[in-house]
Amino acid sequence: MNPFLTYSFFVLLLLASCGTYRYPNASGIREMAPEEVNSYYIDTARSFVYRAKLQAFRKDVNGSLLIKPLGREGCRVALISDFGQTLFDISIQPNGHELHYAMHDLNKRALVSEIASVFRIMTAQQHPTSALMFDDRAHYYPVYVADDCYYLMKGRKVERITQVKRAKEYVLIYYRDWNTAGVPTEVAVEHRKFPLAIDLVLDEEQSTL
Amino acid sequence: MKNKLLYFLFLLLPCCGWAQTREMKANEIASFQKSLQQLVEIKTLSADFVQYKHLSFMKKPVESSGKLYLQHPDKLSWAYTAPFQYKMVFRDGKIFIDDQGKKQTIDIGNSQQFEKISQLVTSSMRGGQYDEKEFAVAYFKDGGADMLRLTPKLAGAKRYIKEIVLLFSPEDKQIAEVKLVEPSNDYTRFVLKNRKINTTLDESVFNL
């Protein structure tokens, strides 16, 4: 009896973890020519300063998020508190990150990796070759798929990125508003596994746009 | 000719640097320490501040400004007015925060980091209030201004601060600038303007 229970448990676990994520109202997936999406943070002549409000593990932190594109495949991202302390300073590449500095209390490997991952999703340009299909004609905007992320488009701009892990939504990035040059002026980050939410408002005066 | 002039100017550059910052001589240190004594007499301080956060990879610093009030021994109001409104009051072992109407209170005892910062800021503004057990002290002349470099000795403070540089105004010998250098060498510079010493502060500045 015991081996049977153990076997059933692992089969159930396997089924649960192998379940596929179904994007709301999507009916299938189609191939398409590569499309360049999420190109907000690729111009190395620019630097972005966002006013940042973080809620992390029931703590509120206010400060600034600085993004400096290093090219088409990477960004340097730093989070500083209002008092001017650097909380994180990380270079993010498609397949890794380099930690330049993390404040002592926050210098934990898993935490730094998670932070790098969130900002990689937010800043990385992608070239999806597939898109979702919708039977519902009311659905107007296309949704492109690249790696484990879904890119909901509004015209040529990404409006929302949904990262999926183990068939569940993991990180959501919402681009809520843009300036006339198409630079995101309001961005919200929502982590579905950890109690982490970040609201960003672009400080156009301090940014180099 | 143009090249020769450029070489000449280039050779002069290090001399300009030495002329700007140099170690104080013994008699200058004695005179400076005397002037520091008057800072110990500071009971209240109000000033406008401009904060410049310098990061190695950013061409220009991130700038913010506001108003600060300090009342010896343990009250500090630190309010940002641009580019955002945000006020922190350190008092009674607590930090009271007003973030555009959203108020919260943090127990300083639960936040060693904040405690360290508020101590550093308060003691920096009062200049003479450093502890030689906690800091190695070095004295410099920066142009006409006196400069104090405090390097933390204790491991706890070293984690957050590499050094604190205090610059004193040549005119009134009061603190004009505070620079907090992080272990990564990025730093935050606070420039104080419109300083008023030992005036009566309205108690409301320490309330939220």
Q: Is B96 on the interface with A (CB under 8 A)?
A: no
Contact B164, B120 (CB under 8 A): yes
Taking the CA of residue B158 and the nearest CA in chain A, the distance in Å comes to 10
Q: What is the domain partition of chain B in residue ranges?
A: 31-206
Q: How many CB atoms lie within 10 A of CB B106?
A: 16
Q: Is B57 on the interface with A (CB under 8 A)?
A: yes
Q: What is the domain partition of chain A in residue ranges?
A: 21-202
pLDDT band at B120 (very low <50, low <70, confident <90, very high): low
pLDDT band at A16 (very low <50, low <70, confident <90, very high): very low
- Report the CATH number of the B31-206 domain: 2.50.20.10
- Supply the pLDDT for residue B108: 67
Q: Is B120 on the interface with A (CB under 8 A)?
A: no
How far is A154 from A143, CA to CA, in rounded Å?
A: 9
pLDDT band at B182 (very low <50, low <70, confident <90, very high): very high
pLDDT in tens, B42-83: 889 899 999 999 999 999 999 999 999 989 888 889 999 999
- Supply the pLDDT for residue A97: 97
Sort out which chain A residues have CB atoms less than 8 A from B58's CB and list them: 47, 66, 68
- Supply the pLDDT for residue B128: 55
- Supply the pLDDT for residue B50: 97
- Supply the pLDDT for residue B173: 83
Whether residue A69 is preceded by a cis peptide bond, meaning omega within 30 degrees of 0, is no
Of B23, B126, B20, nearest to B68 (Cα)? Answer: B126
Query: What percent of chain B clears pLDDT 90, i.e. is strictly above it?
Result: 40
Nearest CA in chain B to A66: B58
How far is B104 from B100, CA to CA, in rounded Å?
A: 11
- Supply the pLDDT for residue B99: 86
Does position B17 have pLDDT exceeding 60, yes or no?
no
- Report the CATH number of the A21-202 domain: 2.50.20
pLDDT band at B2 (very low <50, low <70, confident <90, very high): low
Taking the CA of residue B14 and the nearest CA in chain A, the distance in Å comes to 30
pLDDT band at B41 (very low <50, low <70, confident <90, very high): confident
- Supply the pLDDT for residue A61: 86
pLDDT in tens, A101-151: 999 888 999 999 999 999 999 999 999 999 998 887 666 689 999 999 999
Rg from Cα positions in chain A: 19
Q: Most B CBs within 10 Å: which of A82, A104, A185, A202, as the mutation test of the B interface?
A: A82
B186 and A86: CB-CB below 8 Å? Answer: yes
B186 and A82: CB-CB below 8 Å? Answer: no
- Supply the pLDDT for residue B160: 85
Q: Which residue has the higher pLDDT, B9 or B105?
A: B105
User: What stretch of H or E contains B204?
Assistant: none
- Supply the pLDDT for residue A10: 47
Nearest CA in chain B to A107: B159
Cα–Cα–Cα angle for A168, A145, A153, nearest 5°?
105
Rounded to an integer, the average pLDDT of B28-36 is 86
Task: State the DSSP string of chain A.
Answer: -HHHHHHHHHHHHHHHHHPPP--TTEEEEEE-----B--TT--TT-BEEEEEEEEETTEEEEEEEEEEEEETTEEEEEEEETTS-EEEEEEEETTEEEEEEE-GGG--HHHHHHHHHHHHHHH--B---EEEEES-TT--S-EEEETTEEEEEETTEEEEEEEEETTEEEEEEEEEEE-TTS-EEEEEEEETTTTEEEEEEE-TTTSB-
Rounded to an integer, the average pLDDT of B128-154 is 85
Q: Is B154 on the interface with A (CB under 8 A)?
A: no
pLDDT band at B3 (very low <50, low <70, confident <90, very high): low
Does position B13 have pLDDT exceeding 70, yes or no?
no
B117 and A83: CB-CB below 8 Å? Answer: yes
Rounded to an integer, the average pLDDT of B135-154 is 91
- Supply the pLDDT for residue A24: 87
Rg from Cα positions in chain B: 19
pLDDT band at A99 (very low <50, low <70, confident <90, very high): very high
